[in-house]
Amino acid sequence: MQKLIFGLLLLSSCCSAIEVKVSGQTNYAQQHSKSLITTLNAEYKVTLYEPKHKQWLLFLGGKISPDFDHFGREIKTNVFTTLGFDF
């Protein structure tokens, strides 16, 4: 997972057609048990095709959200992918 995020960041620095946004947060809770969960969010948008008239474009976008449970030593990952048109 870390290699994928690093790869997206590397591609975004090389190519102007790729947009990457990274954010995150850490939550600590103690009710019946203790929990410390760190969430990272990486959103990307890759332009697949844009004609010369620039009235529309075809893109591949998505979001990768791994949740790291530090006390439970568990990683859960949510991945969403979108293929779409921008006008």
CA distance 85 to 54: 12
Please state the domain count of the chain.
Answer: 1
CA distance 70 to 26: 10
Residue 45 structural domain: 2-86
- Please write the tens of the pLDDT for every residue from 22-80: 888 888 887 777 888 898 898 988 888 888 898 998 988 999 898 988 888 888 989 89
Say if residue 3's pLDDT is above 70: no
Q: What is the pLDDT of residue 10?
A: 59
